[in-house]
Amino acid sequence: MSDPTPIEERLARIERVIADLSADVASIRRELRVPETTSPPPAATSAHSPRDVFRAEADAAPSRAKRSLSRPAFSAHDLERLVGSYGMLAIAVLAAVAAVGTFLSWAIGSGFITIGPTARVAIGLAAAAGVGVWGARLRRRERSFGSSLLGLALVIVHVCAYAAGPSFALVPTWVAFTGAAVASWALTVFAHREADEPLWCVGFGGAAVAPFVTTNGHGSLYALLAYATLVLLSGCFSINKRDWPIAWQIFYLASALFVVAAAWEARNTGSARFILALAFPLGVAVAGVAPLAVPSRKRGAIRWLSLLAALTGAYREAGVGHHAASEVAALIGAMLVSLALVDLVSEVEQSSIVARRAHPALLDWLDAFGLPLIFAVEATFSIGSNAPEWTAFVATSAALVAFCLRRARGGLRDASAFGAVAMAVSAIAAASVEVPAGLCASLVAIALAAFGMHIVRPSRSWLRGGATTFLGAAAISVDSLKEGGYHGGPFLREASASAIIVLVGLIVVARSWRMIRSATRVAVGDRRREFRIPFERRTLRFATVAPWVWAFVWVLIELSLAYSPTASTLLLVTYFAATGVGCVAVGRSRSSSRLRQVGLASAVLAAATAVYGAHAYFDFGARIVAYLVISAFLLGIAYWYRRPGAEPTLA
């Protein structure tokens, strides 16, 4: 019979291992905010068959998913754990990097004789090897802390490589960076294989700050960008298929650190340096984020890198007064690359689970409108005498139209449609267009194009943008009609041509409104159908009468400023009376009570205008003419209403 002691010891060790694993799982749950399940669902315990158990679990799944998606309270214990786990580790790594970097920087500046530059770098590499061996051995028992030490060893290697290359010039810069690249990729491959987030955070974060603690203030922009590209691309590879929240925050901070440093260095330099600094974040997005990041992080990372590129352009605007044509082309190209990346990533989202998650509409508008607007404004300010300022807005509008044509219904299509209209209007404002006829014609053309795009790719932004542009053209026409006070004959000025242009545009919209209404139904969708149909009916009625309303307002303004106060008032009396008779006649023929009511109101307005003119402007003869005109028209209306058998019926 064998001794039971070894078996008991094995069982005890297994229990300890299980207890450690349970503690690790509980820690991971707390960090990921996943609620712990202490007991099975009541329905599952009371079920009598596997089918009942499956149904009970399926019924309980939505409630559990809803609880897991809710935002938990952030307690003081969570804050303590966050600071203790990550904050202290980050400070320790930064302190170690600062110690090594300060030593090397002091050695460079003080002319320390006993130990030469080669020996100093060799001591640093030996220290890195010692820390790495210690971390590898410790990782067998304490995974998280051992991974942190491995990352710290990589940081020391990066510091030594940067010192040996750009700082001490012991070896060519490309040799130093090659060594750093080999070490970085080796550790990132290891971190990716082991799915070790702390290892990644320490190694990547330390590598990001390494050049800034070893620099002597006279670094090379090209060396910095080469090093940053190496670090960021290796970081993207190491978090491939990993949705690590802390790691991605460190990636954002590191990329911002590199881009701000590069933008500051290129602020007052030549065009080549600026273009390189501008292309750097977008190049990382194209080569690293787009192909390697998980779908849930692609849009956010690309948006962040595009914002950093826009920040580079803003730095350039503040530092240089004159820009070359190549810089303008680079800004337009950056806008196109940003839109292309959003287009590519949104296509991936449509085929993944990310598309089922609620995406904030504000972020869609930032991607498809805010960022292109920033690049367009920067390009416009950079143009100077190289080309007309409106060319940047035209290029942006064309790019947004192409982007909208590729997008499905949603926030991106709405944002790009609005941006296309806004950029087109901005191009007209920046161009030297003749006022008012040329300006009104341009705005009406943009509005008609927006309505046409709404028919092709329905979006409420096309509809609202076209309507707003029409209102702007009408307001400009009204202002031009009212300029100059009383003048000779009406309908003979250039302002009258602008009013005719607006009228023609409104007629085109009214004639094609049935197609526009059908497209609006597609754009709105099936949501709130009981409220959508009355709204569309009211919109249809307004669109069909808009040309008549504009024609009435146009003639009213023309006649109110014709010749003199007396002549214009007499013309207005005649105009109101004739309009009243015409509306009543059309209302009777079409059995429309609305038109008849408008006609009666116009007739009353004609009488009130006649009375006002008689007391304010008219002489004896003008009063007689005004009263006769009113009498003749109103008698005709009264005859229609009092004629036997011709009583108008309510429509």
Amino acid at 557: I
Averaged pLDDT, 320-345: 84
Sequential DSSP letters for 508-557: HHHHTHHHHHHHHHHHHTTTTHHHHHHHHHHHHHHHHHHHHHHHHHHHHH
Query: Does position 419 have pLDDT exceeding 90, yes or no?
Result: yes
Per-residue confidence (pLDDT) for residue 57, from 0 to 100: 41
Per-residue confidence (pLDDT) for residue 108, from 0 to 100: 54
Q: Who wins on pLDDT, 145 or 82? A: 145
pLDDT digits (tens, 9 = 90+) for 505-539: 999 998 887 788 777 776 665 444 433 445 555 66
**pLDDT > 90: percent of the chain:** 18
Joined tokens for residue 623:
């009063």
With beta carbons less than 8 A apart as the criterion, state whether 204 and 247 touch.
yes
3-state secondary structure of 410: coil
CA distance 407 to 316: 33
Averaged pLDDT, 210-238: 76
CA distance 591 to 606: 24
Per-residue confidence (pLDDT) for residue 584, from 0 to 100: 78
pLDDT digits (tens, 9 = 90+) for 544-577: 888 988 998 898 888 888 888 777 877 887 888 7
Q: How confident is the model at residue 243 (pLDDT cuts 50, 70, 90)?
A: confident
Averaged pLDDT, 222-242: 82
Beta-bridge mates of residue 487: 562
Closest CA to 85 of 34, 148, 128, 36: 148
Amino acid at 573: V
Q: Who wins on pLDDT, 113 or 585? A: 585
Closest CA to 355 of 286, 412, 434, 284: 412
Comparing 410-414, 434-438, 580-584, the range with the smallest average pLDDT is 580-584
Per-residue confidence (pLDDT) for residue 107, from 0 to 100: 59
Q: Is the peptide bond before 166 cis (omega within 30 degrees of 0)?
A: no
Q: Who wins on pLDDT, 447 or 79? A: 447
Q: How confident is the model at residue 474 (pLDDT cuts 50, 70, 90)?
A: very high
Q: Who wins on pLDDT, 112 or 260? A: 260
Phi, psi of 562 (to 5 degrees): -90, 130
Average pLDDT, the chain: 74
Per-residue confidence (pLDDT) for residue 204, from 0 to 100: 77
pLDDT digits (tens, 9 = 90+) for 6-56: 676 667 767 776 776 676 666 566 555 544 444 444 444 444 444 443 344
CA distance 160 to 176: 9
| Interior angle at CA 365, CA 362 and CA 367, nearest 5 | 110
Query: Does position 397 have pLDDT exceeding 80, yes or no?
Result: yes
Q: How confident is the model at residue 589 (pLDDT cuts 50, 70, 90)?
A: confident
Closest CA to 391 of 450, 421, 431: 431
Joined tokens for residue 235:
């970081």
Per-residue confidence (pLDDT) for residue 169, from 0 to 100: 72
Q: How confident is the model at residue 648 (pLDDT cuts 50, 70, 90)?
A: low
pLDDT digits (tens, 9 = 90+) for 307-321: 999 998 887 765 555
User: Exposed, middle or buried by CB within 10 Å (0-12, 13-18, 19+), for 295?
Assistant: middle
pLDDT digits (tens, 9 = 90+) for 336-387: 999 999 988 887 665 554 444 445 778 889 999 999 999 998 888 877 655 6
3-state secondary structure of 487: strand
pLDDT digits (tens, 9 = 90+) for 256-303: 999 998 888 887 777 888 899 999 999 999 999 988 888 888 888 999
pLDDT digits (tens, 9 = 90+) for 132-180: 787 777 766 766 667 667 777 777 777 777 777 766 777 777 677 677 7
Closest CA to 584 of 502, 506, 642, 516: 642
Beta-bridge mates of residue 562: 487
Per-residue confidence (pLDDT) for residue 221, from 0 to 100: 83
3-state secondary structure of 562: strand
